[in-house]
Each structure stands twice: as C-alpha cells, then as structure tokens.
C-alpha cells in the first residue's frame, strides 16, 4: 500500500511539474508566432500589430488580472516591394545571396562594378578612380571586414557628397544576416551585403529594389499583471515579440528563436502564476521595437506602468529556443546578488552546466532597466545549434529547440519562490 501510494504521489508531482511548465502550450505559441500568418512580426505589412493582438488574447486566456496596451511610435525603413538583383545577368536570391542594410534607399538601374584592391589599397587612388568617366555611378564592391578596418574611408563613399559612386556592395560571411537596428533613417546611397560566392570579376549589376520609410508607425508593448498577495514590490518578466518582417515580397524572417521562444515563455509563466498566486505582483511585458533599437523598452522605462524602484528583479528572456547546455547571461550590477542565488539554485537542481556571465551590453530589453538601476538579468542561449540561423529566413519552427525552456522555467520560479 505504501509503495502504491508513493507511486501515486510521484505521478501527481510529475503531472504538476509538466502542467506547470506547459511544454505543449509553449511549443504551440512558438509555432504560431513564427508562422507566415504574422509575416515575420515586422512593420511593413502589419505583422507586428497582428502579433500584438494575438499576445493580448493569450494573456487573457491565461487568466491574468490585467492587460494593458502601451502604444509608442517609431520611424522605420522597410522593404515591402520589389527586391531584385542580378550580376552579369545571373539572378541572385534575396535573403540568401543578398540582403539590404536596413537604412538603404531603394535603387533601380544597371550599374558597372568597381572592385576595391585590398592588397594594394590606397584611399586616394580609389577616390581618383571613381572620378573617371568609366567608373562614375558605379557600385563599389569590397570585403565587409576590410571596410570595417577602414571605416572612415568607406563612410565617405557611402555619403552623399563623398564620391559619385551609386552605392556599396559588401561581401560578407554566410548565412547573411538582416537587421533593423539602424533603420530609423534612410541613407543617401544603398548598401547591399552579398554572400561570399559573389563573383570577383563581374562587370555589371542590375538592381530593382523598393523601400518604404514609415513615419510615426504606432506599435504596442503588451503588458499583463498577475496580482500577488503584496503590492509594494514586484517581479517582471519581459521578452520582445517583434522581429524583422520581410525582405521584398517573398522572403519572410520567422523569428522562432528570436524571439517567439522568449515571448512564449512569458505567456506560459503568466498562466502559471495566474493559477499559483505569488507573494508579490508579477508583471509580464511583451516588448515591440526591440529589433529596431530597443524602442519599446526605452519607452517603458521613460513611461513606466509600475515604479521602477519597486522591481525586485527583472528577467529578460531573449532567444532561449536553443540547446546549448551552458546558459549565457547578462546581469546588471544591482542584480548580482540575485545572480549568485540563481547560480546556487542551478547547481542544486543540475539544470545547466554553467550560468555563464557575459558583459552587460545594449543588446536587448534589459539594458534600459539596467541603466536605471533595476536588478535584472538577460537569458540568451548562444552557440547552440539554432544560433547560426539567427536573423536569417531559417530561424523557423523546424530549426528551434526546446531544451532550454524547462530549465529557465524551473530556475526563475524557484528563485521567486525562495
């Protein structure tokens, strides 16, 4: 009878554990947010707005005590239209063979190519060559990392008055990454990143690329609250739900790892705490505008819905859809005591091989809070099998992993419980 009771008790504990983590619900939300329905959760075609509505609905289904939409406006450059490029009549594929720098204008026409001689480089010679009639209005081709080492020279070539070249083509590592972080303006000339197999001696490039600059585009932080037994302090879980959207009419960036994975986690955590009242209030913030420059989180800290000095600890979940057994973390100076407690929990529970402490940086939504003195941590799973697909069209449901989520869930709920 004791043995039967023990087995029954163990089964109940396991069932509660599975229910608490809701892995099935987590996978469902990741799959939905990274589907074509939300168009990469970008700005040009309203995918981010549809995603915000979906997240609000999921918070309400979870049973939270309050849901608040916090609107803000951004200026953002987008590429919703034509996206065609060919070199010496060979068609290149957007997203894999070439991507646009996020601040590039549209460009249409046929252009000659001028290759930078990196072995015998002379900035004066380049400027002189580009003034020759045969090179006027040429697209300049160069290895990206070489241009990075000669930033000032190439800034002149990218500027309006620096030279008569039509734009820049930079050869970069593959898979090519697409970004939004500097898309709040449109540069004078197009800058295109191409893959490493771009020809080294081509003559001409044909371009038909459309951009659309959105002014005062309104997006929302979707904020939810679960009431605790005490209201003078609180915990915060956050994750950004926006992503890169589209590149032209056919290429979508699903963003399963970045950051459907973190968004799904805070939704399941909201459901957990709605069914298990915490001691203190817990806030859940799904930020928009992270990929375009931390717009949503910067707006929140300047217009907080809860006093920042009441936040006991903030957890930022960004790109946790991976399988690296070492968990990368960034922690504010005020959050170090809490980090050491998490290290202790991690060791006792044998969750991750290590909580690796990285340099605190302005790379995600914890940063504005850290600048305001809020104790906070970012969890980001780097160097796993999903990481190479970061900011590519292959960051989809088929290339995301679910190893990290249960460990993060266990770590943060135990931390709050203690």
Task: Map out the domains of the chain with their CATH numbers.
Answer: 21-74+215-417 (3.40.630.10), 83-209 (3.50.30)
Nearest-angstrom CA–CA distance, 332 and 316: 12
Mean pLDDT of 151-167: 90
Token pair for 6: 């023990």
In this predicted structure, which of 75-84, 279-288, 315-324, 378-387 has the lowest mean pLDDT?
A: 378-387
Look at residues 276, 299, 313, 279 and name the one whose alpha carbon lies nearest to residue 222.
Answer: 299
* pLDDT number for residue 233: 98
60 SS3 class: helix
Asked if residue 413 lies in contact with residue 197, where contact means CB atoms within 8 angstroms, the answer is: no
What's the half-sphere exposure (Cβ side, CA atoms, 13 Å) at 171?
A: 13
- Model confidence at 6: pLDDT above 90: no
Nearest-angstrom CA–CA distance, 389 and 387: 5
DSSP state of 94: B
Asked if residue 279 lies in contact with residue 126, where contact means CB atoms within 8 angstroms, the answer is: no
Mean pLDDT of 3-10: 43
Nearest-angstrom CA–CA distance, 83 and 249: 7
Residue 348's CB is within 10 A of a number of other CB atoms, namely: 9
Crossing angle for the helix pair 336-349 and 404-417, to the nearest 10 degrees: 120
pLDDT in tens, 367-416: 999 999 999 999 998 889 999 999 999 999 999 999 999 999 999 999 99
93's CB contacts (< 8 A; 6+ apart) are: none
* pLDDT number for residue 354: 97
Angle ∠(143,148,153) on CA atoms, nearest 5: 95
Nearest-angstrom CA–CA distance, 203 and 201: 7
Tell me the β-bridge partners of 222: 69, 286
Band the pLDDT of 4: cuts 50, 70, 90: very low
Beta strands in 101-260 (DSSP E): 107-115, 139-143, 167-171, 191-194, 204-209, 212-226, 230-240, 245-247, 251-253
Band the pLDDT of 3: cuts 50, 70, 90: very low
Asked if residue 75 lies in contact with residue 190, where contact means CB atoms within 8 angstroms, the answer is: no
Nearest-angstrom CA–CA distance, 418 and 412: 10
Backbone angles phi, psi at 137, to 5 degrees: 65, 30
* pLDDT number for residue 17: 41
Band the pLDDT of 12: cuts 50, 70, 90: very low
* pLDDT number for residue 19: 45
Backbone angles phi, psi at 124, to 5 degrees: -65, -40
* pLDDT number for residue 15: 38
pLDDT in tens, 235-258: 999 999 999 999 999 999 999 999
What's the half-sphere exposure (Cβ side, CA atoms, 13 Å) at 126?
A: 25
* pLDDT number for residue 161: 78
* pLDDT number for residue 11: 41
Asked if residue 63 lies in contact with residue 271, where contact means CB atoms within 8 angstroms, the answer is: yes
283 CB burial (10 A radius; 0-12, 13-18, 19+): buried
Tell me the average pLDDT of the chain.
Answer: 94
pLDDT in tens, 127-154: 999 999 999 999 999 999 999 999 999 9
pLDDT in tens, 284-315: 999 999 999 999 999 999 999 999 999 999 99
CA distances from 373 to 240, 343, 344, 353, 366 (A): 21, 21, 23, 29, 11
Mean pLDDT of 164-190: 96
* pLDDT number for residue 1: 45
Name the pairing type of β-strands 107-115 and 139-143.
parallel
Nearest-angstrom CA–CA distance, 148 and 248: 27
């Amino acid at each position: 009878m004791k043995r039967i009771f023990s087995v029954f008790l163990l089964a109940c504990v396991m069932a509660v554990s599975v229910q608490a983590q809701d892995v099935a619900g987590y996978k469902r939300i990741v799959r939905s947010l990274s589907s074509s329905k939300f168009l990469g959760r970008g700005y040009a075609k309203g995918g981010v707005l549809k995603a915000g509505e979906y997240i609000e609905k999921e918070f309400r289904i979870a049973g939270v005590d309050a849901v608040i939409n916090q609107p803000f406006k951004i200026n953002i450059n987008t590429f919703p239209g034509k996206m065609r490029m060919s070199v010496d009549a060979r068609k290149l594929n957007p997203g894999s063979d070439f991507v646009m720098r996020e601040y590039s204008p549209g460009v249409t026409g046929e252009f000659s190519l001028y290759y930078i001689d990196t072995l015998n480089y002379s900035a004066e010679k380049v400027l002189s060559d580009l003034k020759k009639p045969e090179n006027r209005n040429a697209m300049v081709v160069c290895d990206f990392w070489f241009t990075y080492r000669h930033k000032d020279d190439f800034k002149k070539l990218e500027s309006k008055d620096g030279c008569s070249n039509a734009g820049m083509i930079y050869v970069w590592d593959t898979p090519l990454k697409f970004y939004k972080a500097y898309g709040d303006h449109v540069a004078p000339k197009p800058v295109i990143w191409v893959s490493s197999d771009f020809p080294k001696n081509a003559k001409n490039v044909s371009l038909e690329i459309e951009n659309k600059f959105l002014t005062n585009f309104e997006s929302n932080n979707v904020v939810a609250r679960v009431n605790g037994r005490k209201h003078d302090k609180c915990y915060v879980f956050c994750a950004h739900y926006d992503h890169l959207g589209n590149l032209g009419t056919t290429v979508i960036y699903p963003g399963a790892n970045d950051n459907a994975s973190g968004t799904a986690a805070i939704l399941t955590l909201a459901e957990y705490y709605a069914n298990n009242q915490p001691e203190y209030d817990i806030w859940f913030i799904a930020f928009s505008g992270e990929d375009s420059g931390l717009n949503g989180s910067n707006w929140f800290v300047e217009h907080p819905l809860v006093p920042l000095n009441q936040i006991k600890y903030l957890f930022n979940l960004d790109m946790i859809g991976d399988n690296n057994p070492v968990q990368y973390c960034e922690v504010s100076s005020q959050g170090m005591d809490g980090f050491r407690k998490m290290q202790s929990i991690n060791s006792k529970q044998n969750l991750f091989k290590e909580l690796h402490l990285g340099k605190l940086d302005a790379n995600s939504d914890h940063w504005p809070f850290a600048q305001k003195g809020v104790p906070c941590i970012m969890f980001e799973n780097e160097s796993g099998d999903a990481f190479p697909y970061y900011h590519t069209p292959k960051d989809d449901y088929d290339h995301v992993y679910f190893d990290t989520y249960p460990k993060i869930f266990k770590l943060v709920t135990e931390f709050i419980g203690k």
